[in-house]
Structure 1
Amino acid sequence: MTDDTPENVISLATRRPPVAITPAPHLHVGFRTRMSEVPGDPLPLILDLEHQGEVVGEIARFTDTPEGHAAARTAAETGRRVVELLIFHQPGAAPA
């Protein structure tokens, strides 16, 4: 591949199911955005934390702009990575 020949890039985040947070395969955590139902809300884009498909908390709010949506995606991806680190990190194990 050269710099002038783009390749198709497939995000691993779009192919992965929610992250298992315990050995039980039925327990999952995920992140989802929704829009506020409050008229005139200055930060209407809401990023929620979900556990087993149920909303358990609001993580952050963003503007309803392309930048706000990009920030929400970045926050969700960062959250997913933090959860993976917490789950798969084995204390005392040498880094790979």
Structure 2
Amino acid sequence: MTKPVTALCDHCGKITDVVFKEKKHPNNIHETYFDCEHCYYHYTSYVTDSKVRRLQRKRDCSLVADERLKLFEEIKSKMNLLKYNLIHFGRADL
């Protein structure tokens, strides 16, 4: 049996179990998040759109190490932008 993942809540300072949930937003945006079980603070873990998910599937194919690293950096960059836009502007697809 695996141990549950825990995190220290920045908002209330208590340790909480991490139970990932997924929320679908307009324009095929998927947000994966968890809530603090004590204060219910919402933590967005990552955000993807259809293009990012397509790139992630491509990454699973047999690629040369340099190509895989370049693809990983592109995915990371796009996901960070989507997450930033969702948190700060309420929409990921700006």
Q: Same fold (TM over 0.5)?
A: no
TM-score by length of 2: 0.35
Q: Name the larger-Rg structure.
A: 1
- Structure with more helix by fraction: 2
